[in-house]
Structure 1
Amino acid sequence: MQQKVAIIYQANISPSKDGIIKPMKSGGYSDSGADIAYTLMQQQITVITPAKTPQIMNDFDWVFPDTKEGIQSAIDKGATVIWLNTVLYKGHPIEYFLEKGISVVGQIPENVDVYDDKWLTNELLKNHKLPVPASVMITHENLNNYTLNFSFPVVVKPVRGRGSQGVSLVNNQQSLDVLLIEMLDSNIYGNALYVEEYLTGEEVTITIMPPGDYIIHGENVLKPDYWSLPPVKRFNHQNGIAPYNGVVAIVNNSAVLSDNELNEESMIQLRKECEFATKLVNAKAPVRIDCRANAAGKYFLFDLNMKPNMTGAARPHRPDQDSLTALAAQKIGWSFSDLVMNMLKQHWSLAIHH
């Protein structure tokens, strides 16, 4: 039976969790949702859209809001698979439809709820002997009496962040004090912040795919375990931080590693560590892990992202919008449409999942 796919985007900011707020991307990923929908349609997949004849330039013609009404409307129009191109959390409206047996592409909502918390996730990785940077959590309570057991410069970031939004490099205690007070008072990111050691070495981003059946170079390939796409190197940082892709297109500051770099022992090891980390969070869809080396060249996993941005240079007016995952996929011979079709192949439902 041919699937009929509808893509949902984030219509509202997700609820705060224990006082911590995850900021919302403007447009709620409707841009990447439209890229995915358009690409699937080009591949002769039946895509259910809110607009009868979606216009290439209008993102919202292609995607449904991730509200109960939005999802119901997609199902009423015939959708059999809902693509969760949105921020998930425990209690997300999709849970109601999962209980009713709908198939989805994306993560288990309550897992995202847990692992979106950088502090908790890095503790989990650390407990499993994976390398993560030293860090400390700062709240109003310990603002005046915390200790850094690492030296400046340090990185300050939201606990439930999104890309490099709200991430700053700080060079001394005075600047750190000012920034922490400012960020906590603004409450944009909620009542806690994350401060970690700054790693001065190379930064790479690794996309990890879930186990499943894939088509690679025209062949059916069974991947019995989590596996990674080739790492992508990040460069042209601004003040030590990779700029947010809403500001600088990924293709202008990122490149897939060369064959020689891919064969380096440290890179083979790092990919194994990222695959293991993704297994720990029981991912059902791609996960992106940002890693960075210290001065001695040892890599650490510093940011596990359950919802990689999935933009792709699919629609004619977006030629430079390939995401980090789309760039990595090119190295194994996948176009953006190959990537999207292979993601669709991994759709799941609770019936299969239990």
Structure 2
Amino acid sequence: MSKIAVFFQSEPPPAVDGIKKPFKPGGYSDSGADIGFALKESGHFIATPTTFPDPANDKDWVFPDTTAGFAKAYEAGARTFWLNTVLYSGHPVEQINYPDVKFVGQLPADVQAMDDKFTTNRRLKDRGLPIAASELVKLEDWQSVQLTTPKVVKPVRGRGSQGVQIVKTPAELKALVERWKATNEFGDAFMMEEYLPGEEITITVMPAGTYRIQGEEVVKDTPWALPPVRRFNHIQGIAPYNGVVAVTANSAVIPPQELNAPSILEVTQACERAGTLLEIHAPIRIDCRQNSEGQFLLFDLNMKPNMTGPGRPDRDNQDSLSGIAARGIGWDYKDLLQAVLSQAWKMVVSSQGYLRK
């Protein structure tokens, strides 16, 4: 009997060129448990670390993303590994060799490359996509920044809006830099990005594949976008981190009558093209915001969108931006998970040991 195993992040990823990606407490075990529970409720066979997983206990549903965790899941009958974790070059998943296993998630090397938001934005801009202007600044060089207009300071390998702040004066920038130095949470550099004053939306891009939409089987030859989600109730100009304010309190899918607006069509197509350029194997989420002329610019690409969802006890108010977007085409949380699961891919291990699709 083939089963599905969901994996969580067991430890922080290594720093890359002095840049750190912050570790989420629990390592996404909460959303991993949501995924496992919902898939089981949908009739799938789920491998779990315990024989009788408690719906209220996150870790009962997920395995650690370690060599031992992968082995335990395989021994429990899992032949689909859902990588609900932060991947990187050298991740333990690259070292396993189970030719009969399928994966849900991105390639580790792709995640490491694209998690560098500055490099990714520059790459997409070079290919003609509308990207917010930014520069990379070392913490030690912060005094060289010319603050003629408000700027957004953000981690280079950030997670959602954690650590993101608008700065308007050298004193504000100095205080932020000193705080980053004291915590050493994000590494030795930051992104300084133009502040976009207009409306903010987020777009989930699904990989190419075959999907079931409104009762029909639909083949998507290239990455495609779910309906955009409008963000509101910003705090000091920034959408709050979802660990502090639930996305249900500040997000709503854009209604069908607005989807054909030229600015929405343009940015949606840009996000879909980004998915094509990056050769995605699982959903990604791209945050976009209007400049003073009303044009939407892409400013934050996330290779691992949150997949929190309802179903478990006391979790009915849980949701994700991708889940909200999915409802725009008639999918509930279970439908979204099934759509993601249907794009699971087989691995090939090269002579260097890296995963290839």
Would the TM-score normalized by the shorter structure come out above 0.5? yes
Query: Does the residue aligned with 1:183 lie in a helix, a strand or coil?
Result: helix
CA drift of 1:140 comes to 3.8
**Match in the other structure for 2:129:** 130
**Match in the other structure for 1:103:** 102
CA contact (8 A) 1:139 1:184 kept: no
**Match in the other structure for 1:268:** 265
CA contact (8 A) 2:107 2:356 kept: no
**Match in the other structure for 2:86:** 87
Identity among equivalent positions (%) equals 50
**Match in the other structure for 2:142:** 143
**Match in the other structure for 1:221:** 218
Q: Where do 5+ consecutive residues of structure 1 fail to align? A: none
**Alpha-carbon separation, structure 2, partners of 1:6 and 1:345:** 15
Query: Does the residue aligned with 1:136 lie in a helix, a strand or coil?
Result: strand
**Alpha-carbon separation, structure 1, partners of 2:294 and 2:2:** 46
**Alpha-carbon separation, structure 2, partners of 1:189 and 1:240:** 21
Map 1:72-221 to 2 at 5 A: 72-97=71-96, 100=99, 102-147=101-146, 151-221=148-218
CA drift of 1:226 comes to 0.5
What count of residue pairs does the alignment treat as equivalent?
Answer: 351
Worse-matched range after superposition: 45-54 or 176-185? 176-185
CA drift of 1:263 comes to 1.3
Query: Does the residue aligned with 2:123 lie in a helix, a strand or coil?
Result: helix
CA drift of 1:169 comes to 1.2
Kindly provide the CA deviation profile for residues 308-334 of structure 1, in whole angstroms up to 9, marking residues without a partner as x: 010011223111111000000001000
Q: Using structure 2 for the length normalisation, give the TM-score.
A: 0.95
Query: Does the residue aligned with 1:6 lie in a helix, a strand or coil?
Result: strand
Taking a change above 3 Å as real, the CA distance of residues 98 and 114 of structure 1, as seen in their structure-2 partners, is farther
**Alpha-carbon separation, structure 2, partners of 1:283 and 1:158:** 23
CA contact (8 A) 2:103 2:347 kept: no
CA contact (8 A) 1:106 1:284 kept: yes
CA drift of 1:182 comes to 2.9
CA contact (8 A) 1:119 1:194 kept: yes
**Match in the other structure for 2:312:** 315
CA drift of 1:147 comes to 4.4
When the two chains are superposed, the root-mean-square deviation of aligned CA atoms in Å is: 1.5
Q: Using structure 1 for the length normalisation, give the TM-score.
A: 0.96
CA contact (8 A) 1:154 1:195 kept: yes
CA drift of 1:135 comes to 1.1
CA drift of 1:99 comes to 6.9
Taking a change above 3 Å as real, the CA distance of residues 94 and 228 of structure 1, as seen in their structure-2 partners, is same
Query: Does the residue aligned with 2:96 lie in a helix, a strand or coil?
Result: helix
CA contact (8 A) 2:2 2:77 kept: no
Taking a change above 3 Å as real, the CA distance of residues 141 and 177 of structure 1, as seen in their structure-2 partners, is closer
CA contact (8 A) 1:156 1:193 kept: yes
**Alpha-carbon separation, structure 2, partners of 1:274 and 1:99:** 34
**Alpha-carbon separation, structure 2, partners of 1:342 and 1:261:** 25
CA drift of 1:282 comes to 1.4
Kindly provide the CA deviation profile for residues 162-207 of structure 1, in whole angstroms up to 9, marking residues without a partner as x: 0111111112222113322331343210111111111010000000
**Alpha-carbon separation, structure 1, partners of 2:146 and 2:94:** 41
Taking a change above 3 Å as real, the CA distance of residues 95 and 31 of structure 1, as seen in their structure-2 partners, is same
CA drift of 1:306 comes to 0.1
CA drift of 1:38 comes to 0.5
**Match in the other structure for 2:20:** 21
Kindly provide the CA deviation profile for residues 37-84 of structure 1, in whole angstroms up to 9, marking residues without a partner as x: 011101111100001111110010000010111111000111101000
